[in-house]
A and B are shown apart, each in its own frame.
Chain A
Amino acid sequence: MPGKPRIATDWLAGCAGCHMSLLDMDERLLDIAQAVELTSSPITDLKHPPEEGVDVGILEGCINNSATEQVARTMRARCRILVALGDCAVFGGVPTMRNSATCAQALRRAYVESESTVDGRVPDDPELARMQNARAVGQVVDVDINIPGCPPPPEAILYVLSELAAGRKPRLSGKLLDWH
Chain B
Amino acid sequence: MTRTITIEPVTRIEGHAKVTVHLDDGGKVRQARLHINEFRGFEKFCEGRMFYEMPQITERICGICPVSHHLASAKACDDILGVQIPRTAALLRELMHMGQTIQSHSMHFFELAGPDLLLGFDAPPAKRNVLGLASANPELALKAVQLRRFGQDIIARVGDRRIHPTFAVPGGVNKALRVEDRDAMLAEIPRMIGYVQEGLAIMRSWIDAHRQEMDSFASFPTAYMGMIGPQGALELYDGSIRVVDARRQHMFDFDGRRYLEHVAEHVEPWSYLKFPYLRSLGWPQGVYRVGPLGRLNAAQSMATPLAQKEYQAFHQLCGGQTVQGSLYYHLARLIEDLYALERAGQILEDRDVLGTDLRASGDVSRPEGVGVIEAPRGTLWHHYTVDEHGQLVKVNLIVATGNNNYAMSRAVEEVARAYLVGDITEGHLNRIEAAIRAYDPCLSCSTHAVGSMPLEVAVYDARGAEVLRKARYGGL
Contacts and interface: CB of A to CB of B under 8 A. Distances in A.
A116 B398 contact: yes
Contacts of A27: 142, 145-146, 149
Interface in B221-267: 259-260, 263-267
B431 interface: no
Contact of B454 (A21, A48, A123, A127): A48
Q: Which of B60, B64, B152, B268 has the most CB of A within 10 A?
A: B60
A142 B76 CA distance: 42
B260 A13 contact: no
Contact of B38 (A33, A47, A65): A65
A48 to B, nearest CB: 5
Interface string B143-158: 0011011001000000
Interface string A139-159: 000000000001100000000
Contacts of A123: 267-272
A81 interface: no
A45 B38 contact: no
Interface stretch (B8-16, B177-185, B417-425): B8-16
B283 A118 contact: yes
A63 B406 CA distance: 28
Q: Which size bracket describes the interface of B in this complex?
A: 35 or more
A116 B11 contact: no
Contact of B39 (A14, A23, A37, A131): A131
A101 B475 CA distance: 41
B44 A30 contact: no
Interface stretch (B122-130, B196-204, B358-366): B122-130
A24 B163 contact: yes
Given A16-B62, A23-B107, A40-B473, A119 B394 contact: no
Interface in A78-98: 93-95, 97-98
A51 B43 contact: no
B264 A48 contact: no
Contacts of B15: 11, 16
A120 B449 CA distance: 14
B476 interface: yes
B452 interface: yes
A45 B474 contact: no
B269 A20 contact: no
Interface string B257-296: 0011001111111111010100000010000000000000
Contacts of A68: 16, 38, 451
A168 to B, nearest CB: 24
A18 interface: yes
Contact of B11 (A20, A29, A42, A150): A42
A24 B271 CA distance: 32
A156 to B, nearest CB: 13
Contacts of A20: 63-64, 162-163
A1 interface: no
B118 interface: no
A129 interface: yes
B264 A117 contact: yes
Contacts of A48: 454, 456, 471-474
A45 B444 contact: no
Nearest to B274: A117
Contacts of B37: 65, 67, 127-129
Contacts of A15: 60-64, 66, 444
Nearest to B46: A97
A40 B444 CA distance: 19
Contacts of A54: 474
A101 B449 CA distance: 14
A173 interface: no
Contacts of A47: 8-9, 11, 454-456, 471-473
A52 B141 CA distance: 30
A106 B272 contact: no
Nearest to B14: A16
Contacts of A118: 264-266, 283
A30 B142 contact: yes
B267 A101 contact: no
Interface of B: 8-9, 11-16, 18, 20, 33, 35, 37-41, 43-47, 57, 60-64, 66, 107, 111-112, 125-126, 128-131, 134, 138, 141-142, 145-146, 148-149, 152, 162-164, 259-260, 263-272, 274, 276, 283, 383, 394, 396, 398, 430, 442, 444, 449, 451-456, 471-476
7 contacts: A26-B146, A42-B452, A43-B130, A95-B40, A101-B45, A116-B264, A134-B40
Q: Report, nearest first, the 7 A-B pairs whose CB atoms are least far apart.
A: A17-B63, A39-B474, A106-B41, A50-B474, A125-B270, A40-B474, A106-B44
Given A43-B11, A116-B260, 16 more contacts: A16-B442, A23-B107, A43-B130, A44-B125, A46-B11, A46-B475, A47-B11, A47-B455, A48-B456, A48-B471, A67-B37, A67-B38, A107-B39, A115-B260, A127-B35, A128-B35
